[in-house]
Structure 1
């Protein structure tokens, strides 16, 4: 595999050594993304820890070692240790007691394999000893990593029935890590796609945007469309829109723009502000995200005529989105900052125009010409103003 725990930097962090000493090396394991990503040669973001200790014991042992903790999910067994080199989530071993597709009732366990069995995919159920870095692999996750296969632990239908969000998680992990498709997982996700309707909008939104933020989720999103999964959460999307999103991904790469999930979501929707409003409400997007999505939906082919004018009116981010979606070159807006209009209403009032609608009209007229001329310096703007005043 591309990476190894023995050569990685994060297992040697001073904070993790202190945590290991506090909780005991035989009582904890590093688990999940940090282990998986290291073996894949991917940069590690967060480190998670599984432990045999109950949450109260974790808090007590950390306190004795001078490590501050926060009970971030103590009812479900999770305590966060605040370390100098980054927080670590510490979760007591668990097994599911009951599930309803949206949430699980769990009980604490004493067996590493029991804890592994409740996780979603084999590649996420790899446990590393904090000192020896020996990996415990209960469900052939290492083989799946080597094959770049995202495979559910156990029966995919049962795992999806436990938590319907695992359908979207499967596609996100497949887009990020997978190369070899798992037919059983694909069929299960397609068959149970309608269960996504029972999830909270926030959970669906988070997973969808995380998927769209990946470097190139195009093939995966097209497969979701073809398998009738995408229409459950985005019924407005057609194959034509999926193809547009794939074109946008290509343009981003060619023009050197980073992935943007809202831009790609806009590509998946028809260019209608009304539709964008509906989708933004359904996905519970933030006010800022909703604004960008709706403004991007107003795109026109004429946007390419004056990109800087577009960026001045709509904002640089929206302008870049609209240019990429209509197939235009947005590189002219890289690192471009909109200038400030150099005159104010008081400049017009000082010339004898009474404050009111006429001042606003003159300002708007001068600003339009300033934009059309490519944002000239103040001297030219005042010339434009003089001409406007003389025409009154």
Structure 2
């Protein structure tokens, strides 16, 4: 393929104005990376990144002169976010690495497109396109790899991983998305340097793992990761015996027309033990809500006849997790209602029980809990008189 059709991006908000400000007509600015790759694969494109020969300061000056908001999101690494037509675009000056530190790098700016491409991770991510003509630029056989559905490191894989340890997980995530077979040299390098993952922040590991698990078909890639002990340094609890359960969950999500959820799938592949779920949630720096879902998912008890009764106590997301993880056939029926679920409020309070003759004290909260339990069993009636009747029955008041 020699080029892309510029109509793919020409109508994006503020694009024309942005390209004029950055001298695209003079060859100073090009489209780069994931957008080019995904357009070539005829996949949806959301974010659009630009690479430019212009210095970061020149980018800011030109944007401001054109009335485009410039946000210095990463000036040290050459990145400015341009907000054109209400849409953010990342604009990054061409760079070359001066020194790398496992995740961070000291960079120098360069006018050389190939030098900028050489510091990117995979060949399929190092594709550039002229934004006015659609002409493609490819220095490392990325187009060939894209056609072959191959994820391949640029340069020597061990060296590239030493530069940035996160590339281990990115190799598997991009392979799960684009490649039916793992590149041999890349896989060998990732296995050899798996212990490097221990140097990464746990948030980085979490985010990459959840992205991988949320892909349409991650099981084969996950199995390869486990076979080569990729996750063992940071998540030894995940073992190959859990993968068939992941396949069942993916089928259940499809049958219920439920969107893939990386957190739910993570819950599927860790042991069904609440203490372990809590420990993993803490280790990966999950939010309290996410940790709660992991813990609730570790308890695979059946969902009651009315799933809203469970949603009332553990939340709708955790309830849907339970339906899917237990293979409950009602998942399809309840997926919609649970997505719209709003926790109802008990129409009466302890003051009502006191007004009915119950003496103030600890007994009020206990009896109110009994009323609430009966109210849940009754299907959460909103009518206050009906709930007062339940309360009278609990207090044996006539």
Length-normalised TM-score, structure 2: 0.92
Question: Residues 335 and 342 (structure 1 numbering): CA distance in 2 closer, same or farther, change over 3 Å?
Answer: farther
Question: Using the alignment, how far apart are the partners of 2:219 and 2:292 within structure 1?
Answer: 24
Question: Residues 8 and 38 (structure 1 numbering): CA distance in 2 closer, same or farther, change over 3 Å?
Answer: farther
Question: Using the alignment, how far apart are the partners of 1:7 and 1:346 within structure 2?
Answer: 68
Matches within 5 A, 1:20-39: 20-25=19-24, 26-39=27-40
Provide structure 1 residue ranges, at least 5 long, that are not aligned to the other structure.
Answer: none
Question: Using the alignment, how far apart are the partners of 1:359 and 1:265 within structure 2?
Answer: 41
Matches within 5 A, 1:1-392: 5-6=4-5, 8-25=7-24, 26-300=27-301, 302-303=302-303, 306-329=306-329, 330-336=331-337, 337=341, 338-376=343-381, 378=383, 379-390=385-396
Question: Using the alignment, how far apart are the partners of 2:41 and 2:241 within structure 1?
Answer: 34
Question: Is contact 1:218–1:249 with CA below 8 Å preserved after alignment?
Answer: no
Count of residue pairs the alignment pairs up: 390
Question: Is contact 1:221–1:230 with CA below 8 Å preserved after alignment?
Answer: no
Q: CA RMSD in A?
A: 2.0
Over residues 171-191 of structure 1, what are the superposed CA-to-partner deviations in whole Å (9 max), with x where a residue is unaligned? Answer: 111111222331121121112
Question: Is contact 1:22–1:61 with CA below 8 Å preserved after alignment?
Answer: yes
Question: Residues 246 and 231 (structure 1 numbering): CA distance in 2 closer, same or farther, change over 3 Å?
Answer: farther
Deviation at 1:391, TM superposition (A): 6.9
Deviation at 1:263, TM superposition (A): 0.8
Question: Residues 4 and 43 (structure 1 numbering): CA distance in 2 closer, same or farther, change over 3 Å?
Answer: farther
Question: Is contact 1:93–1:115 with CA below 8 Å preserved after alignment?
Answer: yes
Please give the secondary structure, in 2, of the residue aligned with 1:197.
Answer: helix
Length-normalised TM-score, structure 1: 0.94
Question: Using the alignment, how far apart are the partners of 1:360 and 1:94 within structure 2?
Answer: 65
Question: Using the alignment, how far apart are the partners of 2:86 and 2:310 within structure 1?
Answer: 43
Deviation at 1:304, TM superposition (A): 5.0
Question: Residues 67 and 275 (structure 1 numbering): CA distance in 2 closer, same or farther, change over 3 Å?
Answer: same
Deviation at 1:214, TM superposition (A): 1.9
Deviation at 1:166, TM superposition (A): 0.3
Please give the secondary structure, in 1, of the residue aligned with 2:238.
Answer: coil
Question: Residues 377 and 131 (structure 1 numbering): CA distance in 2 closer, same or farther, change over 3 Å?
Answer: closer
